[in-house]
Amino acid sequence: FFMSSHVRRYLSIYTTNAGFEIDRTDRYLKFKKAEARIVATREWKTGDEIYLCSGIFTKLNSEEERSLAQRDFSVMFSTKRHCMGLFLGPARFANHDCCANCKFNPVGRTNAIYFKVTRDINIGEEITCYYSDNYFGQGNCECLCESCER
């Protein structure tokens, strides 16, 4: 069941009503590896829910957390479950921005997560989320987002 629903999340990118695509970004070249981003392929209005851009949160044990935290930005803290976990699925490609246009929206008591639009998004604009206050160092002092770049 998990594998088929996970595959479905990725296949949903190719439906005509998805409203987003996964694209390459050069914003994080300092890491010397290709990075991805989510880009809107239609206009999204404040309050819209981007259901087809979803992911799943999988709890990590302490050893897994230590192993993955240094090399994978898909490791995140769930304020809902009060634990660290791995974020899987197409939504994991949403990059952080200090003035994000979406927020993570957990689905009831499941491990699924999709996005709720917090400000209008134009076609071609990157879909972003705010990770946390200290995700990129104290006060996000190492943040490389577009808003901090300005």
| 5-64 pLDDT, tens digit each | 778 888 888 898 999 999 998 877 666 677 889 999 999 999 999 999 999 888 888 887
Q: Give the span between the Cα atoms of 84 and 89, in whole angstroms.
A: 17
Buried b (16+ CB within 10 A) or exposed e, 5-33: eeeebeebbeeeebbbeeeeeeebeeeee
The CB density around residue 80, as the number of other CB atoms within 10 Å, is: 12
pTM: 0.84
Beta bridge partners of 42: none
Domain boundaries along the sequence of the chain: 2-149
pLDDT at position 97 over 60: yes
Q: Which two tokens stand for residue 26?
A: 């050069």
- The CATH superfamily label for domain 2-149 reads SET domain (2.170.270.10)
Confidence check: pLDDT of 98 > 70: yes
